Amino acid sequence: MIKSVYIHIPFCDTICSYCDFCKFIKNDKWIDNYLNELECEIKSKYKGEVLDTIYIGGGTPSCLSVVELNKLFNIIKLFKVSNSLEFTFECNIESIDFEKLKFLYKNGVNRLSIGIETFNDKFLKFLNRNHTKKDVITKINMAKSIGFKNINIDLMYAFPNQTLSDLNSDLDEFLNLDINHISIYSLMIEPNTKLFIDGIKNIDEEIDFDMYQLICDKLNSNGYKHYEISNYSKDGYESLHNLTYWNNLEYYGFGVGASGYVDGVRYDNTKSLNRYLKKEYISESHKVSKKEQIENEFILGFRKINGINKKDFKSKYNIDIKDIEVVNKLLKSKKLLENEDYLYINPEYIYVSNDILVEFIDY
């Protein structure tokens, strides 16, 4: 039973130098046509399930005007939702104000995910972000005053020439905000981004590791639980929507560039706005075999710090997880550990977890 929906809003006021997501510079005519087509796609695919999570991402959903947001939220009324719905809306600091935040709150959004990336003006310029530290503090406090209690920020690290002291300052600024969740990522230089075109290189791995260690130590000692490779939260504020992905559960993906997993089929929507507007929604899809399903269970499930529940795995696949050869190999090498209920990556290897996860490709 599908209980989660992701909706992609691909429009942005500006393009960040590091971003490789599906995005377009904002154009009001495109937005209107896009929302019309989004409604058509949802009506053609949604089967009436009661949803536990909705996530509106981008792009920059908060770049929409209140009129455009009103149109989007009228479309969202097509969904049946549970009383405990987690409803996340992605924002950029520079495109939210009191009116928009009040609108979101009144229309059922109860979790904000805000792209901060850094509080350091030098690195904000490097990332082509147009806010300041003062703006962040003002807007976060504004959101709290309206009633938002569940707020995430995205933070990035491992910029060229960034020091441990710079990172420590960013973490201090985050802790001063007194919010409940942080997603924190090492900067990756992706093809087709401005940073890649400009020839920017990733920093030295040893410095990256020292930064990762600083993050873990500082957040853990301040009451944040490390529950997924890149995510930390206070108790009870884990992202339920993202846990849908990490638990290898099915979900709808609507909009240009969105991905979904429905009725055993994984699909990617087209990244072409023209094709999407012509109702050519899906660019690729395939039926997931049982072997691939299990492979995904490992690759996604071991992103969680608690790992994979052994009984749930047996119930789902009718296989004892320890009957799988690669699992035993990794247990013997102590790269995987176990307790009564779970198999999980040894904390000493979390930083290099990708080296472990690739072991499950064609296991």
Average pLDDT for residues 191-219, to the nearest whole number? 83
The pLDDT assigned to 146 comes to 98
- Looking at residue 83, what is its pLDDT? 97
4 within 8 A of 57, measured Cβ to Cβ: no
Residue limits of CATH 3.20.20.70 in the chain:
4-245
pLDDT tens digits, one per residue of 311-322: 999 999 999 999
- Three-state SS at 362: coil
Beta bridge partners of residue 150, listed in sequence order: 111
According to the model, what pLDDT value does residue 22 have? 61
HSE-CB at 245 with a 13 A cutoff on CA atoms is 14
pLDDT digit string, tens, across residues 4-40: 999 999 987 665 655 556 656 777 889 999 999 999 9
As a whole number of angstroms, the distance between CA 128 and CA 244 comes to 31
Angle at alpha carbon of residue 283, lines to 280 and 288, rounded to 5° = 130
- Whether 225 contacts 232, CB under 8 Å: yes
Average pLDDT, the chain: 93
Confidence of residue 363 (pLDDT cuts 50, 70, 90): confident
Query: How much is the average pLDDT of 225-239?
Result: 98
- How much is the average pLDDT of 137-163? 96
Cα–Cα distance between 340 and 85 in angstroms, integer?
31
Q: What is the CATH T-level fold of the domain 4-245, as seen in this structure?
A: TIM Barrel (3.20.20)
Taking only the tens place, the pLDDT of each residue in 242-293 is 999 999 999 999 999 999 999 999 999 999 999 999 999 999 999 999 999 9
Question: Is the pLDDT reported for residue 299 higher than 70?
Answer: yes
Closest CA to 134 of 167, 183, 142, 126: 142
**Nearest in space to 114 (alpha carbons), one of 143, 86, 85, 134:** 143
The answer on pLDDT for 332 being more than 90 is yes
Ramachandran sector of residue 118 (left: φ over 0; alpha: ψ -120 to 50; beta: rest) = beta
Neighbours of 66 (CB within 10 A): 13
Q: How confident is the model at residue 128 (pLDDT cuts 50, 70, 90)?
A: confident
State percent of the chain over pLDDT 90.
82
How distant is the alpha carbon of residue 192 from its chain centre?
20
